[in-house]
Amino acid sequence: MAYKIGVIGDKDSVMPFKLFGFDVVYAISAKQVRESIESMAKNNFGVIFITEDASEQAVETIERYKSEVTPAIILIPSHSGTKGIGLKEIQDNVERAIGQNIL
């Protein structure tokens, strides 16, 4: 089964992902972000990239999918820079998997 890849965030941050053939959703409000995540999760998306700014508006929704195999929700920086949230998530996942932070 082939999974799709989606990207959620503000237009300036996610527009370049269209060049790679990813499904892109411009979402600004908390409702748009939550609905986009739910829609992608139901429609066979294996990976959802979401900007750190957008992720702050849908914390509960993202938390619900953390224990699921798919979709993997990966936080990425927006065009205005990183807030360190995505890197912290990766460090926490590595530490949980290995037992120590090797990053």
pLDDT tens-digit series, residues 49-70: 999 999 999 999 998 988 888 8
**What length is written for the chain?**
103
Rounded to the nearest integer, the mean pLDDT of the chain is 85
Q: Give the chain's residues under pLDDT 70.
A: 1, 81-88, 90-103
pLDDT score at 51: 93
What pTM does this model have? 0.81
Q: Which stretches of 1-103 are DSSP H helices? A: 11-14, 30-42, 52-55, 59-65, 85-98
Spatial separation of the C-alpha atoms in residues 32 and 11, rounded to whole Å: 13
How confident is the model at residue 40, as a pLDDT?
95
Give the pLDDT of residue 81.
Answer: 65
- Domains of the chain in sequence order: 4-98 (3.40.50.10580)
Q: What is the dihedral of CA 5, 97, 63, 49, to 10 degrees?
A: -20
- Those residues whose C-beta lies under 8 Å from the C-beta of residue 69, and which sit 6 or more positions away, are none
